[in-house]
Amino acid sequence: MCNNDHNIILDTDSYKASHWLQYPPKTTSVFSYIESRGGRDKETVMFGLQYILQRYLTKNISIEDIDEAEAFFKAHGEPFNRKGWVHILMEHDGYLPLKIRAVPEGVTVPVSNALVTVENTCPDCFWVTSWVETMLMRVWYPITVATESREIKKLIMSYLNLSSDDPKGEINFKLHDFGSRGVSSQESAGIGGAAHLVNFMGSDTVVGVLTANRHYKTPMAAFSIPAAEHSTITSWGKENEAEAYLNMLRNFAKPGSLVAVVSDSYDIYNACEKIWGETLKQEVIDSGAVVVIRPDSGDPATVVLGCLERLDAKFGHTINTKGYKVLNNVRIIQGDGVNRESIREILMSATIHGYSATNVGFGMGGALLQQHNRDTQRFAMKCSHIVANGKGIDVFKDPITDTGKRSKKGRLDLEIFEGRYETVPIPNGDEKVPYSILQTVFLNGKMVREYTFDEVRKNASL
């Protein structure tokens, strides 16, 4: 149908097709911005715009794209600006004449600030700014996942600071991404999985790791370990549960290594106390590995504490410099029912009973990658300035029924001064805001600023 598998013209909302006829006469410029208007968290982590721009807006349109879009909108009941799109094809080689500025990826910004600004660079293409809103607004998703992941990192770090000898050495692998099967599409897994890795380095979401590798220039963004699933344990039969675990040890348990074994296919407490703690105890010790035992059902805080106590009774512990118990030879990873609140409950329960957060890791699936929407952080892209008939006009909305939807006015920039962020107007005729943090990342179809994953992680560090 066209020169790539994605027709940019059709990646919009139906009503956008009629908007070029709705602006004031002789409009030549439209300026819009993206912000989180508030929501669950008071700040958000900028991430994912680079993927969207690279994946979609660095590709030019073709005459076949225009023909396909025209046929679609005609049958769909909407007008179509063929002249405008042909202009883009002929005068701009098919690349969208847009300037996009954005907060550096990984930077955390308080809500109610401009994170991205978009404006057309060709006066004949003023309508393009709004056309791409649908596509660009999807940045809410990686931003929200990265924000959720970072908030959990802060939570876990607080318990590591309380109870661990090496918080910074442990934190990167404390929250593992289990979310690939629980999202709506492979692309969601890729974008969301990469967003999680802004904060952590453990993942089983292969496509998320690949997205980070490919779009943020890193050789390997995350790591994993050999781990059992229920099918590989239950296929041995209940009567051979110990043999299934022994098989894991003999295949993967090497000195200094980690191996994870789901152990609640039948009775998690019996597995901890009798099988791991007695039948296989010496095998575990002799292997030189750390065996990570995974409960997968029941109330998370109750089950994790029950496992810690049973394993402690069999393997023993050391007392670290913070005065908390660290189990010998074994650890626990909780991968069922994991969310921000259950992590808090598990770590609170463990530390109250004297166990270091060192003993527990987490695998998080749907709550990490799927249980979000655009309203979680109340994301919106709004027009704030136009030029019509040669005159600049600040525009805004201010509905009396919802003051939370009041939008900003003017051509905007984001500045940081003495650690404080503020969205400010750009002075007339002057685009140099002294303490601006926004970077031009996209100009007329080309990426002009790209971030490596190392840069993103540095920007996002606690």
Which CATH number characterizes residue 384's domain? 3.20.140.10
Residues 337 and 389 reside in one and the same domain: no
Contacts for 73 with CB less than 8 Å, ≥ 6 apart: 14, 17, 79, 80
Residues 164 and 240 reside in one and the same domain: yes
Per the domain annotation, does 94 fall within a domain? yes
Residues 198 and 83 reside in one and the same domain: no
Is-contact 295 303, C-beta < 8 A? yes
Residues 97 and 29 reside in one and the same domain: yes
Domain boundary among 369, 399, 422: 369
Residues 159 and 290 reside in one and the same domain: yes
Q: Express each pLDDT in 318-352 by its tens digit.
A: 999 999 999 999 999 999 999 999 999 999 999 99
Q: What range defines the domain where residue 85 resides?
A: 8-140+380-460
Residues 399 and 445 reside in one and the same domain: yes
Residues 54 and 177 reside in one and the same domain: no
The pLDDT-based confidence of 427 (bands split at 50, 70, 90) is confident
Residues 132 and 152 reside in one and the same domain: no
Residues 276 and 249 reside in one and the same domain: yes
Which residue intervals of 316-425 are DSSP H helices? 340-352, 366-369
Residues 131 and 202 reside in one and the same domain: no
Per the domain annotation, does 202 fall within a domain? yes
Neighbour count for residue 28 (Cβ, 10 Å)? 16
Residues 148 and 254 reside in one and the same domain: yes
Per the domain annotation, does 374 fall within a domain? no
The pLDDT-based confidence of 255 (bands split at 50, 70, 90) is very high
pLDDT at 233 over 70: yes
Residue that wins the pLDDT comparison between 4 and 287: 287
Q: Express each pLDDT in 161-219 by its tens digit.
A: 999 999 999 999 999 999 999 999 999 999 999 999 999 999 999 999 999 999 999 99
CATH number, domain containing residue 317: 3.20.20.70
Q: Are strands 330-334 and 290-294 parallel, antiparallel or unpaired?
A: parallel
Number of domains into which the chain is organized: 2
Domain boundary among 315, 336, 369: 369
Q: What pLDDT score was predicted for residue 4?
A: 52
Domain boundary among 369, 392, 417: 369
Read off the pTM.
0.96
Per the domain annotation, does 3 fall within a domain? no
Q: How far is CA 326 from the centre of its chain?
A: 31
Residues 311 and 437 reside in one and the same domain: no
Per the domain annotation, does 2 fall within a domain? no
Q: What pLDDT score was predicted for residue 1?
A: 33
